[in-house]
A and B are shown apart, each in its own frame.
Chain A
Amino acid sequence: MASHASWDEKHAAEIIGGFTSMAGATLPILHALQESFGFITERAIEMVADALNLSRAEVYGVVSFYHDFRREPPGKHVLKLCRAEACQSMGADALAARDKSDLGIDWHGTTADGRVTLEPVFCLGLCSCAPAAMIDGKLVGRLTETTLTSTLAKARA
């Protein structure tokens, strides 16, 4: 399960402070912030901009460019389903369609009960055991409808 701390400015400042001597620290800082808090808040963008002597627009531009960075809190569980070709060849599209209709959400959506966020991923390097997924950071290969349904049921219980 993805457990994240709620926003804490002091903690955020400590995280950012740990990177001040690093060259090109924007991505490492954003990763660390997201790992702690689950997403990148408006205030976090301001703080990163101040710490790195960048404009807020520049930091915002970085956050919005990279698919990994979220501007909204994720659900309790994050399911990343691979959408790329090797997984397609093993039925990933049908799995994704099934999953979306079960959850009642589209890509990047979070279920109304806040339990599951569904994200696309383009290749997990598991193309030899497709279709593949990452569920709360855990890799799963040769995904079937049965395994996916039971995983989702567990996540939503």
Chain B
Amino acid sequence: MSTRILIPLDSSAVALGADEVAAAIASEASKRKGDVSIVRTGSYGMHWLEPLIDVGGVGFGPVTVADVPSLFDSEFGNHRLNIGRIDDHPFMKAQTRLTFARCGRIDPLSLAEYQAGGGLNGIGAAIMLGPAQTIEFVVRSGLRGRGGAGFPTGIKWKTVADTKSDTKYVVCNADEGDSGTFSDRMIMEGDPLVLIEGMAIAAIATGATKGYIYIRSEYPIAIQVMNQALRAARAGGLLGKSVFGSPYVFDIEVRVGAGAYVCGEETSLLESLEGRRGQVRAKPPLPAIQGLFGKPTVVNNVISLASIPAILSGGADEYKSLGTGRSRGSIPIQLAGNVKYAGLFEAPFGMTLGDLVMKIGGGTRSGRPVRAVQVGGPLGAYFPTSLFDTPFDYEAFTAKGGLIGHAGIVVFDNTVDLARQARFAMEFCAIESCGKCTPCRIGSVRGVEVIDRILAGNSVDDHLKLLDDLCSTLRQGSLCALGGFVPYPVMSAVTHFPEDFRKKVA
């Protein structure tokens, strides 16, 4: 019998040598005339073990090319890199994997494996329910957009459905620009068909016939896998003139971004898709009413859309029963930066930040004490360890002066200088500003200058006051959250780590 070896094609595994390991396994197998079939898969999300290979459910990692002969010698059994059954690993056992149920386990391009793993039940349900009931179902699940703003997905869909138009679009926001986040990338690389299924359900629900996935150019592997998956979906009848055998028509095209962070903002993204500079549009009109090419458009994040099939097949009330407060269901949390067990961890909302960083993440990778974590990307607040009791929940984070954003947690050890991090936030805003509002365009440059004076120990109190004023102006005078939220990282650093702003003060 042929030995089936799963080797991730996920970017993080590839960046740690998975392609070289795959080549070495293939050549070792042919040298030994072994009957081995290699399948390139997504990642399970235990990135400290990458490249992590899976042989019959047992994991070996992190594998290097040099380990390959001894792995064959052990017949993929008793080996130093054997981590036991992957599903029994504590990092996996502690999770509730709904959106990521199949990621890492299946051939991402096989519709048959996708279906065997529970895929395609959602679209079957949507076709049976019809548009109105499908939307009702999504509303009832309590799903809120995972792109950052947390807007209820079902309500957005209803607006598009209720707007009359000859043409409607579903646009998937795969711009994932936030540092510390990679869940969109992992789904596109490891289970792209679930995103396609989710988009097709959104199309059926709203009456859209054409979809776009806007993927950032920094994700070459995701772009490639997504395009291959679209071809597989068309060949398998999931897309096209009769979606999954129904009368609905829908197809999807991948478009590639060009290195502008602001294009993750939905109206900027639409401008970019139309071929223009990614300048943010004033709202109203909402994209749901006048979006791409002026037509009603659903714009949703990858994870929002990829969560839909599991909701439709598993039940709205079941989904809603997970979570806490107004944050319902599960959320793929990304543990990033200086953290020991870095990777993707899907869990119901409600775990505390401290448990995520210390218990799940194991503290820092450097072994030094944790000093700060930034949650929610470059526009998210820096939290000290004294806020580690904050539950992972939209409202709880807002109450503490932060945000969840796209659920990335970046961990810093005690070598971090928060004044420098605040400076970086302003610099990033200056580099990425779309230029439409003066406070964002000019204020961010001023912000860098003011922090430079503080770093130099020059009239620190006056300049801190100026920084505070500048942040108020940015908060009030910005059209979008790039300028509007940059005060989060800056002022949280000032508030929670004031000593870092006074290093040069006698």
Chain A interfacial positions (CB closer than 8 Å to B): 23-28, 30-31, 52, 58, 61-62, 65-69, 84-90, 121-130, 132, 134, 137, 139-142
Contact = CB atoms under 8 A, between A and B. Distances in A.
Closest A-B pairs by Cβ, 9 of them? A26-B275, A141-B15, A66-B258, A84-B179, A127-B336, A89-B337, A128-B342, A67-B259, A68-B259
A128 B335 contact: yes
B322 to A, nearest CB: 24
B428 to A, nearest CB: 7
Nearest to A124: B218
Contact of B374 (A27, A31, A66, A85): A85
Contacts of A85: 179-180, 337, 374, 378, 410, 421, 424
B267 interface: no
A142 B342 CA distance: 12
Of the listed residues B180, B217, B272, B413, the one surrounded by the most CB atoms of chain A closer than 10 A to its CB is: B180
A28 B256 contact: yes
B146 interface: no
Interface in B359-387: 365, 374, 378
Of the listed residues A25, A123, A124, A125, the one surrounded by the most CB atoms of chain B closer than 10 A to its CB is: A125
Interface string B267-290: 000001111111100000000000
B114 to A, nearest CB: 23
Contact of B255 (A27, A30, A61, A89): A27
Contacts of B50: 129
Contacts of A66: 257-260, 277-278
A130 B410 CA distance: 11
A28 B255 contact: yes
B40 to A, nearest CB: 15
A86 B336 contact: yes
B277 A89 contact: no
26 contacts: A24-B255, A24-B274, A24-B293, A62-B277, A85-B378, A86-B410, A88-B337, A88-B424, A89-B337, A89-B338, A89-B410, A121-B259, A122-B177, A122-B428, A122-B431, A123-B177, A124-B218, A125-B11, A125-B219, A127-B408, A128-B12, A129-B16, A129-B342, A130-B337, A130-B338, A142-B16
Given A86-B179, A124-B15, A128-B334, 5 more contacts: A24-B275, A85-B378, A90-B338, A122-B378, A127-B336
A87 B336 CA distance: 9
B259 A127 contact: no
A67 B260 CA distance: 6
Interface of B: 11-12, 14-16, 47-48, 50, 176-182, 185, 217-222, 255-261, 272-279, 293, 334-339, 342-344, 365, 374, 378, 408, 410-413, 416, 421, 424, 428, 431-432
B179 A123 contact: yes
Contacts of A68: 217, 257-259
Main secondary structure of the interface of B (DSSP, over half): mixed
A50 B276 CA distance: 15
Contacts of B278: 65-66
A125 B222 CA distance: 11
Given A67-B258, A86-B180, A90-B338, A121 B378 contact: no
A129 B218 contact: no
A34 to B, nearest CB: 9
A141 B43 CA distance: 15
Nearest to B183: A125
B275 A127 contact: no
B207 to A, nearest CB: 19
B297 to A, nearest CB: 13
Nearest to B416: A89
A134 B179 CA distance: 16
A138 B158 CA distance: 42
B16 A127 contact: no
A69 B424 contact: no
A127 B465 CA distance: 34
Contacts of B255: 24, 27-28
Contact of B47 (A30, A129, A134): A129
A123 B178 CA distance: 7
Contacts of B257: 27, 66, 68
A127 B178 CA distance: 10
A47 to B, nearest CB: 15
Contacts of A24: 255, 273-275, 293
Contacts of A128: 12, 47-48, 182, 334-336, 339, 342-344
Nearest to B45: A128
B411 A122 contact: no
Contacts of A84: 179, 378, 428
Contacts of B416: 89
B15 A129 contact: yes
A64 to B, nearest CB: 8
A24 B270 CA distance: 10
Contacts of A141: 12, 15-16
